[in-house]
Chain A
Amino acid sequence: MTKSTDNAVTVRNVYKNYGSTEALRDLSLDFPRGQLTSLLGPSGCGKTTLLKIIAGLLPATSGEILVNGEVVKAPGPDRAFVFQDFALMPWASVIRNVAFGLELRGVAKSEREGIAQKYINEVGLTGFEHSFPHELSGGMRQRVGLARALSVDAQVLLMDEPFSAVDEQTRRKFQEDLLGLVKNENKTFIFVTHSIEEAVYVSDQIAILLPRPSRVMEIIRPSGFRHKDVDSIRREPEYLDIVDRIWASLRSYVE
């Protein structure tokens, strides 16, 4: 395999300007296939901007995004997005929300609801198919958002601070489930977070971004504890070291 196909997504020399403000400057980053890469940094460092450029929701001022070696400029079936605020349609039931990506692709109703049902079961929402988003807790809503992204079977999952709007215990459960997903789904995950612990806990690769203008400061690849049990990761010396190291380098950027 050549180097370009080892990476599911490649960001090459991307610049993004808002008027005269430079949001991203000459940013290049590789996202290895089948792994989870976190974009971590203080607020205003452009991590969500970068994620939306990869998703094709925002145009880059210059530079390229390659997915499976091909330049992309718009959203495509190879990528699916999980939103920070869930972005569920409040007028639609859980099953219709989950099947919405397939509905837009013109998949027949019975077929898409079959697929949706499978992922509803997978994220643990069996029995809530016909509930409406306002009847669910924040954590359950994000499970709907996750099931929707999984059901279109995209190779790349883009997650924009997906757990920041749920409570701490739900968040921990989500992080454990995410590790299972990365292991079993054979997809590439790009995960935006502002939590150092979360990034170190779930990531194969952590890209630390610095603000104004945003650039990659450092790439860290935790290696020692990836295969360990989900319960013991937080006690690993390497985990604790990396968390400390990242905090040491970020603390000067936090007001």
Chain B
Amino acid sequence: MTLFGYKLPNMSSLILWGILWEIVGQIELTFFLPPLSDIFATLIEIGGTTPFINALKETALAFSIGTLSAICIGIPVGILMGKNQLIDELLLPWVNLFLSAPLTALVPVLMVLFGFGLKSIVITTALFAIWIIVLNSRAGVRQINQSLVEMSKSFGASQLDALTKIYFWAALPEILSGVRIGFIRAVKGVIIGQLLISIVGFGSLFELYASNFLMSHFWAVLIVLFALSFIIAEFLAYLERRVDYYASRR
């Protein structure tokens, strides 16, 4: 963006919103919005404490296992769906159903099936992430240039060769954007899991601070969460740009 002929750095609008927040906080309009400076002070205060570090670890653990399994299952399933008509017709209705289903409503069922521990939280996280990864991988495979497939066949590629050396790479730009959106959804999944299933990790912090009206603590945790998911999303967007050079030329 340019303002009065000056090129502003990315996201400089955040500064404006930050100032506005600080003003609203200082005039004590509502207890819900403490001044931004207080929030950062709280963040520094609680940032190094053991409960916070443990909560971060618990959330990070559930998040990584959940997203990793969503990727490891979602990408191959999506590729197979894009490649095989039969598998596609069998699975597509379910994928579409779960993509738009209110997954939060399923969480109590998961608790009955898998208990109140890490397992249920991981499954919730994976369920939030996996469907968009499947759909995007499928879409990536479906737009593949058929002559690349014929090329690999004519040089004697096996089914596995074709999958790993052609289909995967040809679909990579779509797969990466699916993974990026899946990760953002997984952040929702892990927090909902840690709020509803067992009050652990960041979920327990949210629960604790909100029920005690510790608003600056509450916002501090939220900002950490936002910052972390922003970094992950930006990193994946960077990977996407790395494959941009061939995304439009397949």
Q: Is the A/B pair a real complex?
A: yes
Contact flag A91-B155 (CB < 8 Å), given A85-B147, A132-B245, A133-B249:
no
CB pair B166–A75 under 8 Å, yes or no, is no
Distance of A76 Cα from B155 Cα, bound (Å)? 7
Interface residue ranges of B215-250 to A (CB < 8 Å): 243, 245-246, 249-250
A90-B156 in contact (CB<8A): no
* CB of A56 closer than 8 Å to a CB of B: yes
B contact face: mostly helix, strand, loop, or mixed: helix
Query: A225: CB under 8 A from chain B?
Result: no
Min C-beta distance of B51 to chain A, whole Å:
46
Q: How far is the CA of A105 from the CA of B161 in the complex (A)?
A: 10
Contact of B157 among A52, A77, A104 (CB under 8 A): A104
Chain A interface size band reads 20 to 34
B36 contacts A by Cβ under 8 Å: no
A55 at the B interface (CB under 8 A) = yes
The complex places the Cα of A133 from the Cα of B249 at a distance, in Å, of 9
* Residues of chain B lying within 8 A (CB to CB) of residue A57: 150, 153-154
Residue from A83, A91, A105 in contact with B156 in the complex, judged by beta carbons closer than 8 Å = A105
CA of A104 to CA of B150, assembled, Å: 14
The CB with the most chain A CB atoms within 10 A, among B150, B155, B172, is that of: B155
Question: Helix, strand, loop or mixed for chain A's interface?
Answer: loop
The answer to the question of B26 belonging to the interface, with a C-beta cut-off of 8 Å to chain A, is: no
Assess whether B154 is in contact with A91, with CB atoms less than 8 Å apart: no
Give Cα A152 to B169, complex, Å.
23
Does B154 contact A55, Cβ atoms closer than 8 Å?
yes
Residues B147 and A152 in contact, CB atoms below 8 Å apart? no
A76, A90, A101, A105: the one within 8 Å of B246 (CB) = A90
Look across to chain A and name the residue whose beta carbon is closest to the beta carbon of B158. Answer: A104
Whether A134 pairs with B249 at a CB distance below 8 angstroms is yes
A101 pairs with B155, CB closer than 8 A:
yes
Q: Give the size range of B's interface with the partner.
A: 20 to 34
Q: Are B155 and A100 in contact (CB under 8 A)?
A: yes
Provide the residues of chain B in CB contact with A56, threshold 8 Å.
153-154
What chain A residues lie within 8 Å of B249 (beta carbons)? Answer: 90, 133-134
Q: Closest residue to A90 on the B side, CB-wise?
A: B246
Contact, CB under 8 Å: B172 / A85 = no
> Whole-angstrom distance between the alpha carbons of A152 and B151 in the complex?
13
Q: Are B246 and A83 in contact (CB under 8 A)?
A: no
Q: Are B156 and A87 in contact (CB under 8 A)?
A: no
Q: Which of A65-116 contact B (CB under 8 A)?
A: 75-77, 79-81, 83-85, 87, 89-91, 100-101, 103-105
**A79 engages B169 (CB within 8 Å):** no
Q: Which 3 A-B pairs have the closest CB atoms?
A: A90-B246, A87-B151, A101-B155
Chain A interface (Cβ < 8 Å from any Cβ of B) = 52, 55-57, 75-77, 79-81, 83-85, 87, 89-91, 100-101, 103-105, 132-134, 148, 152
Other than A57-B150, A101-B155, give 10 A-B pairs with Cβ distance below 8 A. Answer: A87-B150, A89-B148, A89-B166, A90-B249, A91-B172, A91-B246, A103-B165, A104-B165, A105-B156, A133-B249
